Amino acid sequence: MQPNGLALPLLLSAMCLAAPLAQANPQEHQFEYRVRSAPAAELHMAAPTLPDLSGYTKEAVLAKIPQGSKGKVVVRRMLRQDALKDFTGGNERLREWIQRQQGMPMAIFIEGGLVTAQDIAKALPDSQFAEQEDGVYLARLPIVVAEGAALHVGKDTRELRLSQERGAFLVNDGLMFITDTRVTAWREADNGPATMRDEGKEFRPFLVSWGGSELYIASSVLTSLGYDNSKSYGVSITQYTPSMHERLKRDEPTGWLIDSEFVDHWYGFYCYEAQNVVIKGNTYRDNIVYGIDPHDRSHGLIIAENTVFGTKKKHGIIISREVNDSWIINNESYDNKLSGVVIDRSSERNLIAYNRVHGNHADGITLYESGDNLLWGNQVMRNQRHGIRIRNSENIRLYENLAALNQLTGIYGHIKDLSDTDRDLDLDPFDTKISMIIVGGTLAGNGSSPINIDSPLSVELYRVKMLAPRKSSGIQLAGILGEKQDEILDLMVRQRQPVLIDPIEPEQMTN
Any idea which residues carry the catalytic annotation? Answer: 295
Judge contact between 235 and 272, C-beta under 8 A: no
Distance (Å) of CA 83 to CA 78, 161, 174:
9, 21, 10
Name the nearest CA neighbour of 406 among 443, 459, 352, 441: 443
Name the phi and psi angles at 312, rounded to 5.
-85, -30
Within 369-490, strands assigned E span 374-376, 379-381, 388-391, 396-399, 402-404, 409-414, 435-439, 442-444, 449-453, 458-462, 465-467, 478-479
- What is the C-alpha to C-alpha distance for residues 206 and 233, in angstroms, rounded to an integer? 7
Closest CA to 244 of 208, 292, 276, 216: 208
List alpha helices for 136-275, DSSP H: 242-248
Rounded to whole angstroms, the Cα distance separating 416 from 424 reads 15
Report d(CA 343, CA 363) in Å as an integer: 12
Sign of CA dihedral 72, 78, 82, 88: positive
- CA distance linking residue 371 with residue 101, whole number of Å: 49
**CA pair distance 119, 134, nearest whole angstrom:** 14
| Rounded CA separation 83/146 (Å) | 8
User: CA 28, 31, 32, 35 torsion: positive or negative?
Assistant: negative
Helix residue spans in 102-241 (DSSP H) = 117-123
Residues 43, 107 contacting (CB under 8 angstroms): no
Overall residue count recorded for the chain in this entry: 511
